[in-house]
Amino acid sequence: MTDASGGLTPETFLDELTRSRLVAIVRGSDPDAAEAATLALFEEGITLVEVALTTPDALQVIERVRHRMPAGALLGAGTVLTPADVEAARAAGAEFVVTPAVAPSVEAAAAHGIPVAAGALTPTEAHLARLMGATVVKLFPASSGGPGYLRALRDPFPDIPFMAVGGVGLEQAEDYLTAGAVAVGVGGPLVGDAAAGGSLDALRERARGFVRLADRTPSA
């Protein structure tokens, strides 16, 4: 999953994203709880987790998790908006970045060769995100159009890999995957209140459900 220098490449990131079909989004109010939730997700077989920079002390959470996560797992930073955010996430050890919009961070990450999932909703935004170097386009919020909208987007953009994020729960995830999303990104429906101090046991149970779903849903 790395290049000769030891870093994750956009190509290998997309390969892993397409294989695993799932990114967990950790956004919480308690740094220690966010760290514990991230590690629990990895332990339950989710291989890609992003820690949103809106989480208090998110960079420290990323730094700490990097020293404890299992081999083969990939840790990213979410809500990355500026070039400064990219640099900070990179320094903390994030291997990929995720944005909520077509922001300056997209080009900044791409310039460093960092895989980036760029948030976009409209056809124009999706096209622009790819021109700016996005590895994958994060359809956000996916719930505003649903799986049918994703199918419509894929007609003129068959070569754009889309990840559906926003309002994607366990019941909706399979529809997005069969509609052609290479993966889904899931926050609240998966993490719940675990990143704010809630039950890790409940988190683990939800994680197992999402992993089973991703494993049994074939690529479109």
How far, in Å, CA of 51 to CA of 187, rounded?
A: 10
Looking at 16, 35, 50, 107, which residue is catalytic? 50
Query: In the numeric block, which tokens belong to residue 63?
Result: 């730094």
**Contacts made by residues 2-11, CB under 8 angstroms, sequence distance 24+:** 7/95, 7/113, 8/74, 8/95, 8/96, 8/114, 8/115, 9/113, 9/115, 10/110, 10/113, 10/115, 10/116, 10/135
The CA distance from 136 to 109, in Å, is 13
Cβ-count burial 80-97 (b if 16+ within 10 Å, e if not): bbebebbebbbebbbbbb
Which is catalytic among the residues 16, 35, 95, 138? Answer: 138
Distance CA 141, CA 100 (A): 9
Quote the DSSP letter at residue 9.
P
Report the candidate in 7, 55, 5, 6 with the shortest Cα–Cα distance to residue 31: 55
138 belongs to the catalytic site: yes
Q: Is 171 a catalytic residue?
A: no
* Active site positions, annotated: 50, 138
